[in-house]
Amino acid sequence: MGAHLITGAGSGIGASVAARLAERGEQLWLLARDARRAAELRERFPGARTLVGDLGEPGKLSWAFGHQELPVELDSLLHIAGVVRLGEVGELPVKAWQEQLNVNLVAPAELTRLLLPSLRLAKGHVVFVNSGAGLNAHAVWGAYAASKHGLRALADSLRQEEHGHGVRVTSVYPGRTATAMQVAVHQQEGREYDPSRWIDPESVATAVLTAVDLPRDAEITDITVRPGR
């Protein structure tokens, strides 16, 4: 039974991945912003362990984890949480830039740093659920795309640095997926939301687990998942 730490397990892709791993009898470690959310996650995923830490304040994660038990060995670290706030460069305030960079980029880097000893022990796997915006930046997506382009760089550097330790690194680039985040995006865009047009979170979960389950003689470095309809 492997141990897997997941961010963003409360909804969307993260919830799908957590449910699939739980069905397999794997040990889940789920990151929650606060104690209330942690309790909700433990109720939803019986047997799961929780860690409390706010991705919006990555500078405090080390202190927070210093007061909690961490996994000794970690088979995968799955970065799935994210935030998006659209706006033109000429209008988007600094706070919106900082929030997206903190949650989408700086926090995954810090979380990875703190958990690398556990990942190295298990010769584990780091998966960054990125975005199509990590490959192409469009109007009003500048801050979000910048955070996701940075996440791609983080993954590429980490892969080269940790290859000798047996740690695999994968970036997954989903297109629009039928999640709560996509509902919020449509609201910001002023568009009607039709989930049937977009990727099912289960399909992205399949891509994530395909990379994690791949035999050790190979490493999937990048997966792009596009809407099939």
The residues annotated with a catalytic role in the active site are 144
The residue behind tokens 């789920």 is: 30
Residue type, 202: E
Contact 205, 20 (CB under 8 A): yes
Farthest CA pair distance, the chain: 50
CA distance 147 to 88: 15
CA distance 103 to 208: 20
Residue type, 154: L
172 contacts: CB under 8 Å, gap ≥ 6:
127, 128, 129, 130, 204, 207, 208, 211, 222, 223, 225
Q: Indicate the helix (H) or strand (E) that contains 98.
A: helix 94-101
Query: Which neighbouring-strand residues pair with 173?
Result: 224
CA distance 81 to 32: 10
CA 187 → CA 62, 85, 114, 128, distances in Å? 35, 11, 36, 26
